[in-house]
C-alpha cells in the first residue's frame, strides 16, 4: 500500500548526492562551532572488537557473524613492523556506520531518482556514495535522550513526535534546520539481540522533516520486530529513502548522555568525517560531540 509521505527527491537537483546535509548552511555551522567552548570531546561510536579471520582449532566459535575480521601481518624476521588485513561488514550492528544515499533502493532507483544500473556496478557505487561527505559534516548536535537518567524505553515502544518534543523540552532547546540529532533509547542491537526493541514511527520521521534535521544518529532506530501498526523500517525507508537524511546507525550515546547531564548542556558541536574510500554505500565512522 502506498503511503502519502513527503519526499526530498529533486529538492537539491537531479544530480545531488548529499541529501539533507545540504541543510547545513553557514548559519548552522556557526551555531555548531559556538557550542565548542571547552574542547571536551565525547565519542558517539561503539567500541568494535574484531574477530580473527583465521580459522581452525584456535579460532573463536562464539559468534556467527562479526562486523570486523582481522588477520595480522608482520614485516621482517624478526618482525620490525606490524599491520593487519581487515574485512569489514559495513552495515553490521556491531560497528557504528554512516548510511549514504546509495544504501536505500526504492522501486529500482536510488536518491534522487537514479536508476540502480546507473547508481552502482561491480566496482561499487557511482552515485550517492559515502565519500561525498569526506570533507566532514560539522553542525550543531542535539541529544534527545528518550530515557533520561540512564534508563531505557519499554520494549516495542513506538517513538513518536511527542517523544521527540518532550526530549527537546527536557534539553531546553529547539531543533533547528541543519541540526544533527542523536537519539538515545537505552537499547542496542548487539546486547539486546533477539529482544523486542523500540523503534521510530512515521510520525517521528515526519517530525525530523518538519524540523529540518540534517543527519541522525542513535542506538536503535527501526524497531525489531517492526513496531505494531506502524510502517516497517520507518527510519530507513522514509528518513533515508524519502527524505535523504543520512543515518549513523549503531551509535553509542550513553557516555554522551552522562556528559550532557553533568554539564547541564544537551547541545554540542557535532563532527563526523567519513574516510574517503570511493564507491561505498556506507562506512564505519566515529562521530564526535565537542563541548
pLDDT digits (tens, 9 = 90+) for 43-54: 999 999 988 877
CB 96 within 8 A of CB 284: yes
The predicted pLDDT at position 3 comes to 86
Domain ranges of the chain: 19-46+96-290, 51-88
pLDDT value of residue 62 = 59
Residue 221 near residue 199, CB atoms below 8 Å: yes
Per-residue pLDDT of the chain (291 residues; tens, 9 = 90+): 568 999 999 999 999 999 999 999 999 999 999 999 999 999 999 999 988 877 666 666 655 678 998 888 998 999 999 999 999 999 999 999 999 999 999 999 999 999 999 999 999 999 999 999 999 999 999 999 999 999 999 999 999 999 999 999 999 999 999 999 999 999 999 999 999 999 999 999 999 999 999 999 999 999 999 999 999 999 999 999 999 999 999 999 999 999 999 999 999 999 999 999 999 999 999 999 999
| CA 127 to chain CA mean position, Å | 19
How far is it, in rounded angstroms, from Cα 199 to Cα 220?
7
CB 134 within 8 Å of CB 274: yes
Nearest to 202 by CA among 179, 175, 223, 173: 223
- Spatial neighbors of 165 by CB under 8 A, at least 6 apart, are 207
**CATH 3.50.30 matches 19-46+96-290:** yes
In angstroms, the CA 20 to CA 6 distance is 13
Q: What angle do CA 180, 184, 185 make, to 5 degrees?
A: 145
DSSP string, the chain: --------TTTT-TT--SGGGGG--HHHHHHHHTT-SS--EEE-BPPP--EES--STTS--S-S--SEEEEEEEETTTT-EEEEEEEE-TT-TTS-EEE-GGG--BTTEETTTEEHHHHEETTEESSS-GGGGTT-EEEEEEEEESSTTT--PPTT-EE-HHHHHHHHHHHT----TT-EEEEE-S--TTTTTTSPPPEE-HHHHHHHHHHT--EEEES--S-SSPPTTS-TTHIIIIIITTT---EEETB--HHHHHHHHHHT--EEEEEE-----TT-SEEE---EEE-
Amino acid at each position: 500500500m502506498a503511503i502519502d509521505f513527503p519526499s526530498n527527491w529533486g529538492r537539491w537537483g537531479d544530480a545531488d548526492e548529499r541529501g539533507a546535509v545540504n541543510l547545513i548552511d553557514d548559519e548552522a555551522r556557526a551555531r555548531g562551532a559556538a557550542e565548542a567552548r571547552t574542547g571536551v570531546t565525547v565519542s558517539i561510536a561503539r567500541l568494535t572488537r574484531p574477530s580473527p579471520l583465521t580459522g581452525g582449532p584456535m579460532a573463536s566459535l562464539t559468534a556467527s557473524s562479526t562486523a570486523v575480521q582481522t588477520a595480522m601481518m608482520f614485516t621482517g624476521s624478526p618482525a620490525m613492523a606490524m599491520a593487519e588485513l581487515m574485512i569489514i561488514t559495513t552495515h553490521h550492528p556491531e560497528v557504528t556506520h554512516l548510511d549514504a544515499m546509495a544504501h536505500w533502493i526504492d522501486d529500482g532507483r536510488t536518491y534522487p531518482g537514479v536508476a540502480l544500473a546507473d547508481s552502482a556496478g561491480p566496482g561499487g557505487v557511482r552515485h550517492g556514495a559515502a565519500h561525498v561527505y569526506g570533507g566532514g559534516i560539522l553542525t550543531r548536535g542535539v541529544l534527545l535522550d528518550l530515557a533520561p537518567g540512564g534508563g531505557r524505553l519499554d520494549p516495542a515502544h513506538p517513538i513518536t513526535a511527542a517523544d521527540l518534543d518532550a526530549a527537546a523540552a527536557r534539553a531546553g532547546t529547539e531543533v533547528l534546520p541543519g541540526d544533527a540529532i542523536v537519539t538515545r533509547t537505552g537499547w542496542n542491537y548487539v546486547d539486546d539481540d533477539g529482544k523486542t526493541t523500540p523503534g521510530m514511527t512515521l510520525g517521528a520521521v515526519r517530525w525530523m522533516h518538519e524540523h529540518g534535521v540534517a543527519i541522525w544518529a542513535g542506538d536503535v532506530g527501526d524497531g525489531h520486530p517492526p513496531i505494531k501498526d506502524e510502517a516497517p523500517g520507518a527510519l530507513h525507508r522514509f528518513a533515508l529513502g524519502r527524505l535523504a537524511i543520512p543515518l549513523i546507525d549503531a551509535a553509542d550515546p550513553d557516555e554522551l548522555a552522562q556528559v550532557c547531564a553533568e554539564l547541564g548542556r544537551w547541545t554540542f558541536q557535532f563532527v563526523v568525517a567519513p574516510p574517503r574510500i570511493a564507491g561505498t554505500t556506507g562506512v564505519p565512522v566515529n562521530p564526535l560531540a565537542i563541548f
